[in-house]
């Protein structure tokens, strides 16, 4: 957290995405917007990351690149 405070980034990439659900609401509010990545293997992983506060999800699985989170 200290490194984040000193660098004041616009976004933070959180690896591994499943860790997002383990952050407290207070910690998520203290962080800049989060891009979740790592271990994003299916639609459920994408939806879980977004549900847990990620503004975006990064994955190498091209089948998930155009996933519509509204569906």
Q: Is residue 20 part of a domain?
A: yes
Mean pLDDT over each residue of the chain, to the nearest integer: 92
- By three-state DSSP, how is residue 24 classified? coil
Kindly report the CATH number assigned to the domain that includes residue 47. Answer: 3.40.50.2300
pTM here is 0.86
Q: How many domains is the chain built from?
A: 1
Residues 6+ apart with CB under 8 A from 69: 46, 47, 50
Q: How confident is the model at residue 44 (pLDDT cuts 50, 70, 90)?
A: very high
Q: What is the pLDDT of residue 30?
A: 86
Across the range 20-28, mean pLDDT stands at 91
pLDDT of residue 8: 86
Q: Is pLDDT of 2 > 80?
A: no
**Mean pLDDT over residues 28-54, rounded?**
94
């Amino acid at each position: 957290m200290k490194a984040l405070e000193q660098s004041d980034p616009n976004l933070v990439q959180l690896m591994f995405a499943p860790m997002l659900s383990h952050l407290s609401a207070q910690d998520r509010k203290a962080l800049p917007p989060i891009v979740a990545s790592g271990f994003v293997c299916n639609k459920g992983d994408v939806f879980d990351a977004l549900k847990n506060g990620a503004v975006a999800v990064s994955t190498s699985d091209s089948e998930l690149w155009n996933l519509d989170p509204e569906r």
